[in-house]
């Protein structure tokens, strides 16, 4: 931000490489009044060009600043340059996608490395800020500062080097491995507990008698075995 206002470009990147893009152009409310403009006139001033680039534009206020907020979604893996956010046909010299995604079994790595060239033109808001949020945990970057999960670059006219890397856990893979481990441990514990359990000894009624020939159980007072006929 400066005495006139601020311009902020925000990229909230999702795991599939798509990003929610937000561009805010805000001016000091008192200065806008001194210039004789209204907020609607500010919005109308950028609306046609922004909508041509695929943005949805609406009035926006923040504190003592008023202006416009433009949003759209796009895939960073299908782009080569940040300038293509505003100029889809901008000829980039960068080889490969703007956002590189390396998918592993346990982790997915995200890497954005590019030169964001704002040219030599100057405007009342200055070159502004770039705010980038990547999935997972940031492992490396050259941003000017961090605000929560967002990396913030204070841009300058001309080329700006932007580098950031992050690593996100693949929760589905982790859950699968944990379930396999838990199942294996549970089966092992059950088998060990069965082996270590003592067998219960059969108990016989007090005074029980059996046939000496076939082992048949005898009732009190029997003189013959009902099973084999042996005389007792």
User: Does the pTM exceed 0.75?
Assistant: no
Instruction: Read off the tokens for 139.
Output: 């492992």
Does residue 228 fall inside a structural domain? no
Nearest partner of 79 among 61, 63, 46, 101, judged by Cα: 101
Confidence of residue 230 (pLDDT cuts 50, 70, 90): confident
Q: In this predicted structure, what is the pLDDT of residue 195?
A: 65
Does residue 103 fall inside a structural domain? yes
Does residue 85 fall inside a structural domain? yes
Q: How many domains does the chain have?
A: 1
Please say whether the beta carbons of 13 and 3 come within 8 A. Answer: no
Question: Each residue of 67-91: pLDDT tens digit?
Answer: 999 999 999 999 999 999 988 888 8
Does residue 230 fall inside a structural domain? no
71 HSE (CA, 13 A, CB side): 7
Q: In this predicted structure, what is the pLDDT of residue 175?
A: 65
- Cα(99)–Cα(78) distance, rounded to whole angstroms? 8
Does residue 225 fall inside a structural domain? no
Among 60-64, 97-101, 195-199, 204-208, which stretch is predicted with the lowest mean pLDDT?
Answer: 204-208
207 pLDDT exceeds 80? Answer: no
CA distances from 16 to 20, 51, 101, 102 (A): 12, 25, 9, 11
- What is the span of the domain harbouring residue 141? 5-172
144 pLDDT exceeds 60? Answer: yes
205 pLDDT exceeds 60? Answer: no
Does residue 91 fall inside a structural domain? yes
Q: Are strands 217-218 and 209-210 parallel, antiparallel or unpaired?
A: antiparallel
Interior angle at CA 1, CA 65 and CA 40, nearest 5:
30
Does residue 65 fall inside a structural domain? yes
Q: 48-80: buried (b, 16+ CB within 10 Å) or exposed (e) per residue?
A: eebeeeebebeebeeeebbbbbbbbebebbebb
Q: What is the CA radius of gyration of the chain?
A: 38
Does residue 15 fall inside a structural domain? yes
- Cα(148)–Cα(15) distance, rounded to whole angstroms? 18
SS3 state of residue 130: strand
Please say whether the beta carbons of 114 and 81 come within 8 A. Answer: yes
């Amino acid at each position: 931000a400066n005495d006139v206002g601020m311009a902020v470009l925000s990229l909230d990147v999702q795991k599939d490489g798509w990003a929610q893009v937000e561009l805010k152009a805000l001016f000091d409310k008192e200065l806008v009044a001194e210039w004789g403009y209204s907020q609607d006139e500010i919005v109308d001033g950028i609306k046609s060009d922004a909508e041509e680039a695929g943005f949805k534009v609406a009035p926006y206020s923040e504190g003592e600043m008023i202006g416009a907020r433009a949003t759209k979604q796009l895939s960073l893996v299908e782009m080569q340059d940040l300038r293509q956010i505003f100029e889809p046909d901008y000829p980039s010299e960068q080889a490969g996608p703007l956002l590189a995604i390396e998918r592993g079994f346990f982790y997915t790595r995200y890497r954005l490395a590019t030169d964001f060239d704002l040219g030599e033109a100057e405007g009342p808001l200055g070159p502004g800020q770039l705010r980038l949020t990547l999935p997972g945990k940031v492992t490396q970057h050259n941003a000017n500062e961090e605000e929560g999960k967002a990396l913030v670059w204070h841009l300058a006219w001309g080329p700006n080097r932007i580098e950031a890397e992050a690593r996100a856990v693949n929760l589905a893979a982790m859950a699968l491995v944990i379930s396999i481990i838990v199942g294996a441990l549970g089966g092992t514990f059950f088998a060990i507990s069965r082996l270590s359990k003592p067998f219960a000894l059969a108990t016989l009624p007090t005074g029980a008698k059996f046939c000496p020939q076939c082992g048949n159980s005898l009732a009190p007072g029997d003189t013959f075995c009902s099973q084999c006929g042996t005389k007792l």
